[in-house]
């Protein structure tokens, strides 16, 4: 076997090892109920903001404290604490992806990714709804 | 129904050319294929003639589609959905191009346009390989054309037609029962360009990036041609094309990084976002392929790897296209396209290139010449091979990590990215950087085939010594103490700094010691210096990145948890100097700019030592396209050795959208006054069609204003002009409220209560929001300039190599 082949095989083995170790780092998309069962372990939640509960963010008091209640599709909810500024547009987002872990029955959030109706491309249904609404408004103003 | 004011001809023409380009590219593909296959010169010529005619037709079609779509957008023909959806009348002129490629269709057209240009340049420069390579380009053109036709084949919609009419796109809307729907304000104005994309980088970055993507098809086409014709001499002309591709794609990627740095509040130029990774991976593989190609040219080794890497490079472009455009990255990326209407087509686009060529490779692998003799470990090719393999594997690791959503979809798992996805990449890529840095330093000092040991050591000892001393000094006195990820990672950072310094020093010395300053042949060294400088800049600016906006205000009621917490935002009150560690910051004022529709904040930074005083103007831009709220754009102060980078994280005006205060009705007539909590409001007079009216008015509308004065308790007077506009054509009324920001007061016209006396009802709203509060995030990026300079030097080096190769091949022909 050539030296080169050995080197190549070693490098490929290292690459595979790196990818396997990556699988140890990954989190999983979990529900709130499952996340509660493994406190302290990093998980990723896909949820939405529970608008019936208060959202607490007062930049005068502390610009690095946001708390709100997240609600998942199964109807479970949990209080989320995020030690950072409130992402703009948070109330409007349909879905939020939260990374963090459950601690003392609260979700200590490290990162929030907002899923707005769209980022770059308009969601056609939303556009249509939006347009219809403003059309009806004009319509009613006329009469 | 006859609609008023529609322009149907350009759209019909556009769609005609879209279909024509589909047909022409298919004809071109077949004709080029036949031309390559046949051995008879006459027959070959006639096929080639046909192919060129078809490719010319294709080019004309693509150009026409391009121009027509731009014509629709720039003339605001909003009867076309694409024009309506991606632009608006109030958009600045220079961003109309960005509107063009905001949507999937426009960016596909950009790609298609570059294929045409590249195709003709190729035909002009490399006659010998024209037929097979243009077969591949034409076929790619065919695939892209299918994305743009928007025709139904047996109930399956193929592609998305950019020339579709608004009323066809959303035919069921009641709006289209009105023949004059185009004068409806929302339609007339347009849906606008996404506020994040309203940036000059977005005008220039996509064309360069797509030229880069498009150009990777040339090495791929060469590889296909070589396999098909069992002729491996393509490896000679391919080098300059690969250099070009590397230079342009590299520039395009880093322009995207510059955009992210300048206009996104990510707090940096690179976030390992899937979209970024997807563009980086083809570049890494292309560069690996280029090095394999060089090895083969000089020694005859590594031909198979050259094939594989060039095939992978373009295939990864296609795979990335699928990742970023199918919507599959929805949960992991902040800026992928959404909407999965073309998923199947995109998967097929990738497979239809990747699979057949890979099969062809395996069928032909026996006929690819290999050298049995082992490479010497004192040869350049040995280490170049290892370097290229490392680059390739690093690309595979990146794309594998990025592909978890695909993996989830196929295997129905629910793997999410790691808690700190950036670090998950960094902790691997830093070792890649170390290996590549050292290899770029050492390898050029080795000769192809074999190097006398004495020669190698004689040449390399000095650069090595200089690098050790320099990086030692940087490590000792540079205060690089990024301990957040543990001591092991810190050591890796220091080693990587050595590797990058070694890369810079050794390649610079190589130009003097070995090449004796002959810059004409120094392309590779220059590219390597640039790459190593870039690595150096990345390492220093990231490991020494500092958060300046630590909250030292004393109004911090915030408990630190046992985990470290970011606490990266500082609250500023208007007019109050706030202590921010190294600087005192004052939020002086904010102004809305009607021209670019942004709200600018003027912030005065005074350093404690009194030397560096400056102003920053971060801004916020109201989000559009159905999203409310604001997106923040940072502002930076550039110093030679660092950038101070600040952006607004929240500001109190933002909440004005959601406040619960409602309008209180008040009755008033001209000359009368009414009260609000902090003073009185006087209605001076009612004016119909006033001369200087501050609100924009559409054609056919007559504005009416209520000329009012607000007098606050402290005696200050504020003129205010709420009003309304009547559209004479359909007698609709548009309300035009006005605000007195200083008094948190909003006034609007409600209705006329008595036409004889002119008495009317107005609405008064007093918002509870403070308007003088914002939170700010401030970073310091030291030596960030080195990142950009490194990229520029690398690109120059690649272009120098390209020119050098072109000249060389000319000489050898003559």
Q: Are residues B522 and B635 in the same domain?
A: no
More reliable by pLDDT, A38 or B278: B278
In a domain, B146, yes or no: yes
pLDDT (0 to 100) of residue B370: 87
User: What average pLDDT does the segment B235-252 reach?
Assistant: 96
DSSP B165: B
pLDDT (0 to 100) of residue B694: 66
Q: Name which of B334, B335, B566 is nearest A84 (Cβ-Cβ).
A: B566
Are β-strands B415-416 and A27-30 bridged in parallel, bridged antiparallel, or unpaired? Answer: antiparallel
Asked whether the beta carbons of residue B418 and residue A134 sit closer than 8 angstroms, the reply is no
Nearest CA distance, B112 vs chain A (angstrom): 21
Nearest CA distance, B49 vs chain A (angstrom): 42
Q: Could you say which of B341, B376, B392 is where a domain stops?
A: B392
Q: Name which of A8, A27, A123 is nearest B419 (Cβ-Cβ).
A: A27
Are β-strands B679-688 and B673-676 bridged in parallel, bridged antiparallel, or unpaired? Answer: antiparallel
Asked whether the beta carbons of residue A27 and residue B418 sit closer than 8 angstroms, the reply is yes
Q: Are residues B12 and B33 in the same domain?
A: yes
pLDDT (0 to 100) of residue B595: 65
Asked whether the beta carbons of residue A62 and residue B556 sit closer than 8 angstroms, the reply is yes
Give the structural domain span for B724. 660-766
pLDDT (0 to 100) of residue B812: 66
The full DSSP string for B599-619 is: EEEEEEEEETTSS-EEEE--E
In a domain, B700, yes or no: yes
Q: Which residues in B lie closer than 8 A to residue A12 (C-beta atoms)? A: 393
**Taking Cα atoms as reference points, which of B33, B481, B452 lies closest to residue B229?**
B33
Asked whether the beta carbons of residue B565 and residue A83 sit closer than 8 angstroms, the reply is yes
**pTM confidence score:** 0.83
User: Which residue on chain A is closest to B772 by alpha carbon?
Assistant: A60
pLDDT (0 to 100) of residue B771: 56
Rounded to whole angstroms, the Cα distance separating B526 from B534 reads: 12
Asked whether the beta carbons of residue B186 and residue A134 sit closer than 8 angstroms, the reply is yes
Q: Are residues B22 and B99 in the same domain?
A: yes
Rounded to whole angstroms, the Cα distance separating B143 from B616 reads: 48
Q: Which residues in A lie closer than 8 A to residue B393 (C-beta atoms)? A: 11-12, 14-15
- Diameter of chain B measured on Cα atoms: 108
Nearest CA distance, A110 vs chain B (angstrom): 8
Q: Which residues in B lie closer than 8 A to residue A130 (C-beta atoms)? A: 626
In a domain, B121, yes or no: yes
User: What average pLDDT does the segment A13-37 reach?
Assistant: 86
Instruction: Band the pLDDT of B336: cuts 50, 70, 90.
Output: low
In a domain, B1, yes or no: no
CB B751 within 8 A of CB B745: no
Q: Which residues in B lie closer than 8 A to residue A118 (C-beta atoms)? A: 338-339, 625-627
More reliable by pLDDT, A141 or B677: B677
Nearest 5°: the CA angle A23, A28, A33 is 150
pLDDT at B316 over 80: yes
Nearest CA distance, B525 vs chain A (angstrom): 25
What are residue A48's DSSP bridge partners?
A: A71
Q: Which of B180, B190, B649 to mutate to test the interface with A (most CBs of A within 10 A)?
A: B649
User: What average pLDDT does the segment A34-57 reach?
Assistant: 84
Q: Which residues in B lie closer than 8 A to residue A143 (C-beta atoms)? A: none
Q: What mean pLDDT is reported for chain B?
A: 87
Q: Are residues B157 and B281 in the same domain?
A: no
Instruction: Band the pLDDT of B625: cuts 50, 70, 90.
Output: low
Asked whether the beta carbons of residue A131 and residue B186 sit closer than 8 angstroms, the reply is yes
Outline where DSSP puts E strands in B485-612: 546-547, 569-573, 577-580, 583-593, 598-607
User: Which residue on chain B is closest to A46 by alpha carbon?
Assistant: B331
Q: How far is CA B377 from CA A2, A27, B436, in A?
A: 11, 42, 17
Asked whether the beta carbons of residue B733 and residue A15 sit closer than 8 angstroms, the reply is no
Q: Which residues in B lie closer than 8 A to residue A116 (C-beta atoms)? A: 627
Helical ranges in B75-129 per DSSP H: 81-86, 96-100, 104-125
User: Which residue on chain B is closest to A142 by alpha carbon?
Assistant: B732
Mean pLDDT check: name the lowest of B35-44, B349-358, B402-411, B647-656: B647-656
Q: Name which of A4, A14, A130 is nearest B626 (Cβ-Cβ).
A: A130
Tokens of B384: 């170049």
SS3 at position B126? coil
Instruction: Band the pLDDT of B722: cuts 50, 70, 90.
Output: confident
Rounded to whole angstroms, the Cα distance separating B439 from B427 reads: 19
In a domain, B415, yes or no: no
**Taking Cα atoms as reference points, which of A19, A46, A23 lies closest to residue A100?**
A46
pLDDT, tens digit (0-9, with 9 covering 90-100), for B342-386: 888 899 999 999 999 999 999 999 999 988 888 888 899 999 999
Say how many domains are in chain B. Answer: 5
Q: What is the C-alpha R_g of chain A?
A: 22
Nearest 5°: the CA angle A68, A69, A70 is 120
Q: Are residues B32 and B175 in the same domain?
A: yes
Q: Which residues in B lie closer than 8 A to residue A18 (C-beta atoms)? A: 397, 428
Asked whether the beta carbons of residue A3 and residue B377 sit closer than 8 angstroms, the reply is yes
Q: Residue B139 contacts by C-beta under 8 Å, 6 or more apart in sequence?
A: B25, B29, B353
CB B257 within 8 A of CB B205: no
Rounded to whole angstroms, the Cα distance separating B603 from B693 reads: 31
Q: Are residues B212 and B191 in the same domain?
A: no
Q: Residue A141 contacts by C-beta under 8 Å, 6 or more apart in sequence?
A: B732, B733
Q: Which residues in A lie closer than 8 A to residue B194 (C-beta atoms)? A: 119-120
User: Which residue on chain B is closest to A96 by alpha carbon?
Assistant: B331
Asked whether the beta carbons of residue A26 and residue B418 sit closer than 8 angstroms, the reply is yes
Nearest CA distance, A123 vs chain B (angstrom): 7
pLDDT, tens digit (0-9, with 9 covering 90-100), for B193-238: 877 788 888 899 999 999 999 999 999 999 999 999 999 999 999 9
Asked whether the beta carbons of residue B558 and residue A65 sit closer than 8 angstroms, the reply is yes
Question: Domains along chain A?
Answer: 28-142 (2.40.50.140)
Asked whether the beta carbons of residue B173 and residue A132 sit closer than 8 angstroms, the reply is yes
pLDDT (0 to 100) of residue A135: 64
DSSP B653: G
Q: Name which of A19, A27, A91 is nearest B400 (Cβ-Cβ).
A: A19
Q: Are residues B240 and B181 in the same domain?
A: no
**Taking Cα atoms as reference points, which of B798, B788, B797 lies closest to residue B246?**
B798
Nearest CA distance, A27 vs chain B (angstrom): 5
Q: Are residues B753 and B778 in the same domain?
A: no
In a domain, B78, yes or no: yes
pLDDT at A89 over 80: no
More reliable by pLDDT, B152 or A133: B152
pLDDT (0 to 100) of residue B657: 44
Q: Which residues in B lie closer than 8 A to residue A43 (C-beta atoms)? A: 416
Q: Are residues B128 and B24 in the same domain?
A: yes
Q: Name which of B173, B337, B397 is nearest A19 (Cβ-Cβ).
A: B397
Q: Are residues B313 and B375 in the same domain?
A: yes
Element (H, E) at B36: helix B9-37
SS3 at position B371? coil
Percent share of chain A, pLDDT over 70: 76
pLDDT (0 to 100) of residue B673: 86
Q: Residue B279 contacts by C-beta under 8 Å, 6 or more apart in sequence?
A: B209, B213, B249, B252, B253, B256, B320
In a domain, B523, yes or no: yes
**Taking Cα atoms as reference points, which of A71, A66, A33, A32 lies closest to residue A52?**
A71
pLDDT (0 to 100) of residue B136: 97
Q: Which residues in B lie closer than 8 A to residue A20 (C-beta atoms)? A: none
Q: Name which of A14, A63, A126 is nearest B569 (Cβ-Cβ).
A: A63
Asked whether the beta carbons of residue A29 and residue B416 sit closer than 8 angstroms, the reply is yes
Asked whether the beta carbons of residue A26 and residue B377 sit closer than 8 angstroms, the reply is no
Q: Are residues B359 and B253 in the same domain?
A: yes
Tokens of B532: 């190593």
In a domain, B703, yes or no: yes
Asked whether the beta carbons of residue B557 and residue A128 sit closer than 8 angstroms, the reply is no
Q: Are residues B163 and B118 in the same domain?
A: yes
Most confident listed range (B119-128, B268-277, B407-416): B119-128
Q: Which residues in A lie closer than 8 A to residue B414 (C-beta atoms)? A: 28-30
Asked whether the beta carbons of residue A142 and residue B566 sit closer than 8 angstroms, the reply is no
pLDDT at B811 over 60: yes
Report CA B207 to chain centroid distance, whole Å.
10
pLDDT (0 to 100) of residue A116: 56
Rounded to whole angstroms, the Cα distance separating B18 from B74 reads: 20
pLDDT at B476 over 60: yes
pLDDT at B658 over 70: no
pLDDT (0 to 100) of residue B553: 44
Nearest CA distance, A53 vs chain B (angstrom): 16
Percent share of chain B, pLDDT over 90: 47
């Amino acid at each position: 076997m050539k030296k080169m082949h050995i080197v190549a095989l070693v490098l490929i083995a290292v690459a595979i090892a790196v990818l396997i170790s990556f699988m140890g780092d990954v989190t999983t998309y979990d529900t709130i109920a499952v996340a509660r069962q493994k406190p302290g372990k990093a998980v990723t939640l896909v949820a939405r903001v529970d608008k019936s509960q208060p959202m607490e963010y007062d930049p005068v008091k502390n610009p690095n404290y946001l708390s709100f209640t997240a609600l998942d599709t199964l109807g479970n909810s949990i209080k989320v604490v995020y030690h950072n500024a409130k992402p703009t547009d948070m109330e409007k987002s349909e879905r939020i992806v939260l990374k963090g872990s459950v601690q003392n029955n609260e979700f200590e959030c490290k990162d929030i990714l907002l899923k707005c109706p769209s980022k770059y491309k308009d969601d056609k249904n939303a556009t249509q709804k939006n347009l219809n609404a403003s059309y009806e408004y004009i319509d009613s103003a006329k009469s | 129904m006859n609609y008023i004011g529609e322009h149907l001809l350009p759209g019909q023409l556009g769609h005609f050319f879209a279909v024509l380009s589909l047909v022409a590219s298919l004809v071109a593909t077949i004709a080029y294929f036949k031309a390559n296959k046949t051995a008879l010169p006459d027959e070959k010529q006639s096929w080639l003639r046909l192919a060129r005619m078809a490719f010319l037709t294709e080019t004309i079609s693509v150009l026409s589609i391009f121009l027509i779509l731009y014509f629709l957008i720039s003339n605001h023909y909003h009867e076309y959905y694409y024009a309506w959806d991606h632009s608006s009348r109030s958009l600045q002129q220079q961003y109309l191009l960005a509107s063009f490629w905001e949507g999937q269709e426009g960016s596909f057209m950009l790609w298609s346009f570059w294929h045409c240009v590249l195709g003709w340049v190729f035909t002009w420069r490399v006659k010998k390989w024209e037929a097979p390579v243009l077969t591949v380009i034409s076929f790619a053109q065919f695939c892209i054309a299918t994305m743009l036709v928007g025709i139904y084949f047996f109930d399956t919609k193929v592609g998305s037609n950019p020339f579709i009419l608004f009323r066809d796109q959303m035919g069921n809307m009641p709006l289209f029962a009105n023949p004059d729907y185009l004068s409806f304000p929302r339609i007339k104005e347009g849906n606008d360009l996404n506020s994040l994309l309203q940036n000059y980088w977005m005008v220039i970055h996509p064309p360069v990036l797509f030229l880069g993507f498009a150009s990777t098809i040339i090495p791929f086409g060469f590889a296909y041609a070589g396999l098909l014709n069992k002729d491996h001499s393509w490896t000679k002309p391919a080098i300059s094309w690969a250099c070009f591709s590397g230079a342009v794609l590299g520039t395009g990627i880093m322009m995207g990084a510059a955009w992210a740095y300048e206009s996104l509040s990510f707090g940096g130029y690179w976030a390992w976002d899937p979209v970024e990774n997807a563009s980086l991976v083809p570049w890494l593989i292309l560069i690996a392929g280029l090095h394999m190609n060089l090895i083969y040219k000089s020694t005859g080794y590594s031909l198979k790897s050259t094939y594989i890497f060039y095939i992978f490079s373009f295939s990864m472009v296609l795979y990335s296209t699928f990742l970023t455009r199918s919507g599959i990255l929805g949960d992991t990326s902040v800026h992928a396209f959404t909407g999965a209407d073309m998923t199947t087509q995109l998967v097929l686009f990738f497979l239809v290139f990747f699979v057949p060529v890979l099969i062809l490779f395996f069928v032909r692998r026996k006929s690819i010449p290999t050298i049995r003799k082992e490479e010497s470990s004192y040869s350049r090719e040995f280490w170049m091979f290892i370097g290229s393999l490392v680059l390739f594997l690093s690309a595979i690791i990146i794309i594998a990590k990025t592909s978890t959503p695909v993996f989830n979809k196929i295997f129905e798992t629910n793997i999410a990215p790691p808690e700190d996805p950036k670090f998950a990449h960094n902790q691997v890529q830093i070792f890649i950087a170390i290996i590549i840095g050292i290899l770029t330093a050492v390898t050029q000092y080795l000769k192809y085939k074999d190097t006398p040991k004495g020669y190698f050591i004689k040449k390399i000892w000095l650069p090595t010594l200089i690098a050790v001393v320099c990086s030692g000094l940087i490590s000792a006195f540079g205060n690089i103490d990024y301990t957040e990820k543990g001591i092991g990672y810190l050591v890796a950072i220091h080693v990587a700094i050595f590797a990058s310094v070694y890369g810079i020093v050794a390649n610079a010395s190589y130009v003097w010691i070995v090449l004796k300053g002959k810059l004409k042949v120094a392309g590779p060294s220059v590219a390597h210096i640039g790459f190593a400088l870039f690595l150096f800049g990345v390492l220093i600016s990231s490991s020494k990145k500092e958060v300046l906006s630590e909250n030292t205000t004393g109004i911090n009621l915030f408990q630190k948890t046992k985990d470290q917490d970011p606490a990266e935002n500082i609250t500023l009150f208007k007019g109050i100097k706030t202590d921010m560690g190294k600087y005192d910051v004052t939020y002086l004022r904010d102004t809305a700019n009607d021209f670019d529709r942004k709200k600018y904040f003027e912030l005065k930074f005074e350093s404690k030592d009194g030397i560096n005083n400056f102003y920053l103007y971060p801004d916020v831009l109201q989000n559009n396209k159905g999203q409310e709220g604001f997106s923040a754009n940072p502002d930076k102060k550039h110093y030679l050795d660092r950038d101070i980078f600040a952006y607004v994280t929240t500001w109190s005006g933002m909440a004005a959208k959601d406040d619960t205060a409602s309008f209180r009705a008040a009755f008033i007539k001209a000359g009368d006054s009414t009260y609000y909590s902090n003073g009185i409001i006087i209605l001076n007079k009612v004016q119909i069609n006033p001369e200087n009216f501050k609100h924009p008015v559409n054609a056919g509308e007559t504005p009416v204003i209520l000329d009012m004065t607000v007098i606050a308790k402290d005696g200050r007077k504020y003129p205010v002009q709420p009003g309304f506009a009547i559209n004479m054509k359909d007698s609709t009324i548009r309300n035009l409220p006005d605000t007195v920001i200083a008094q948190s007061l909003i006034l609007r016209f409600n209705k006329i209560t008595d036409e004889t006396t002119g008495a009317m009802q107005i609405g008064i709203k007093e918002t509870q929001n403070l308007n003088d509060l914002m939170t700010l995030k401030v970073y310091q990026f030291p030596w960030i300039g080195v990142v950009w300079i490194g990229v520029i030097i690398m690109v120059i080096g690649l272009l120098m190599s390209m020119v050098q190769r072109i000249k060389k091949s000319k000489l050898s022909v003559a």
